A = this chain, B = another copy of it.
Amino acid sequence: MVDGDTIFRQFKEHSVAEFFKKNQQMLGFSGKVRSLTTVVHEFVTNSIDACEEAGTLPEIAVGLEELGEEHYRLTVQDNGPGIPKTHVGKALGQMLAGTKFHRYIQQRGQQGIGASGCCMFSYLTTGKPTRAVSCYNGTRYELEVLIDFKSNKPILNMLKEEPTQEHGLTVISEYKGVKHEQSNKGIFEYLRRTALANPHATIAFTDPAAGRMVLPRSTEQIPPRPFEIKPHPLGISAHDLLEAAHHFREYRKLSALLQNAFSRVSAGKVAELRRAVPEVDFDKNPSGLTWDEAERVVKGFQQVKWIAPATDSLVPIGRERIENSFRNIFSPELVVVTERSPKVYKGGIPFIVEAGIAYGGGMGAAGKQGEIMRFANKVPLLFDTSGCAITETVKAIDWKRYDLKNFDEEPIAVLVNLASVHIPYTGAGKQAVAGGEEVENEIRFAVMEAARSIQRYLSGKRRAHEIANKRKLVERYVEQLASDLADLSGSKKEKIAKKLNDIIEEKYARPVEGEEEGETNGNGTQGTGREAGKAEPENGESEG
């Protein structure tokens, strides 16, 4: 009975490509519409990242041709730097290879799985390789890429090579068993939201039925480029420290390693650490560091006061851009955008949350209710809605506190963008953000801050309305009262009436101005800035 032999004879090793081949749904390849949107998402994300790295204003052209029933050819072209021949295989035909995974920088892609996953999905549904045309550094080449699943290595077939003055990458791939549709999960909605969060990009889409549509850039200004930062001591684990000791062999002393491998560690801070952790020798060679010592140093990190991580490495969408986008899309009655200061999660990973709320106006007319638009590093998240910390946090807010009834029944759209050097996605499909107290709190505070402005506006509007009603009520008596007073006093009725009207005017003037202000700003903006954020006790406020 107890005999595992038959079991263990079946022991095998598998590559990550085989894993995702069997679990395609984990990469977003589930559902005909979603699968196609996922492909567009992966290639467009990479294209914008490439342009950003090179400091180019992105020009992205997405073309979709219908080749048969549920059979499409997708072309995604960008004006980035292109990819050198030596790297294209890894970029498109090998999972977990690339520039993105190990870097500590805000970027749209961060896994090195996406594009290769698309190449895999294309092959699995059509048997065809993915074609890449790259113009890089004076050379244009055209090749075909496949993944060898067993080894997770690319198989390349070079088709053409010639000199060029151009630059950029074009990826052409085919898919079967997928569907293109105009819906809030479709390609166009994805690109529209991408444009919303990246207004410096021009995005063209050639729809097989509707033809070419262009989402032109609304600003020529390239947003500041996020820069790579070193890990902050507060985000370092004992393992990370040992790994750094192993990696940076050039530093002969622990003190030098700390100052060079991590941010914010100065000679002065090392001196503080020496006092905090006297049992560790900071002059020892890092190669001899033990786990116990590393753990003590990490505990020492917690005892020293640090300058916060360089959060200026984060580049949010920006208030003005969110406002403009909201107005363009929804023509709402009111737009409020919250910009909060950057924070850190898990001790050392910087992130920033932006939240915008659009209320009323065209939204109500369009029947939009309780919409949540999620972004991570400016990438729209269209799927896995209910499993996302953004959705859950926004829905858990007690909206009645802000004079809003049921969130789902209000003409309201909430936009949240989470920017970070590492987005904690729930899965390799990168469509939902995992929770965590710090991130969830920030999302909640940002949305609540915006909601307060909505509330002020709504209650101001309501108050103004009530006061105007009262004034009308009082004004009804002016005529009679003026006439009675004229009889009593012998003064002129008109004079008395004017005086009474002046009193009413004075008494109700400010609130009525308030009403006018409300109307003027109706389609305008009521911003809440960092000042407001500062005034608020950041760790005290809760929904409880």
Contacts and interface: CB of A to CB of B under 8 A. Distances in A.
A202 to B, nearest CB: 17
Contacts of A82: 2, 4
Interface string A18-50: 110011011000110000000000000000001
B238 A127 contact: yes
B81 A7 contact: yes
Contact of A294 (B8, B127, B291): B127
A411 B56 CA distance: 60
Contact of A127 (B2, B124, B295, B388): B295
A99 B7 contact: yes
A10 interface: yes
A284 interface: no
Interface stretch (A419-427, A446-454, A523-531): A419-427
A54 B11 contact: no
A12 interface: yes
Contact of A96 (B14, B112, B123): B14
A131 interface: no
Nearest to A21: B239
A22 B101 contact: yes
A1 B426 contact: no
A136 interface: yes
A30 B387 contact: no
B432 A103 contact: no
Nearest to A128: B291
A127 B56 contact: no
A94 B435 CA distance: 28
A351 to B, nearest CB: 14
Total identical chains: 2
Interface in A436-457: 436
A55 interface: yes
A16 B13 contact: no
A16 B8 CA distance: 23
A15 B152 CA distance: 10
A97 to B, nearest CB: 4
Contacts of A56: 1-2
A369 interface: no
Given A14-B101, A101-B22, A137 B4 contact: yes
A127 B11 contact: no
Interface string A368-384: 00000000000000001
Contacts of A87: 8, 11
A128 B56 CA distance: 47
Given A11-B87, A14-B97, A18-B101, 9 more contacts: A4-B54, A7-B81, A12-B99, A13-B97, A23-B428, A25-B425, A26-B425, A30-B424, A387-B388
Closest 7 CB pairs of A and B: A387-B387, A127-B291, A427-B427, A4-B81, A14-B96, A2-B167, A25-B434
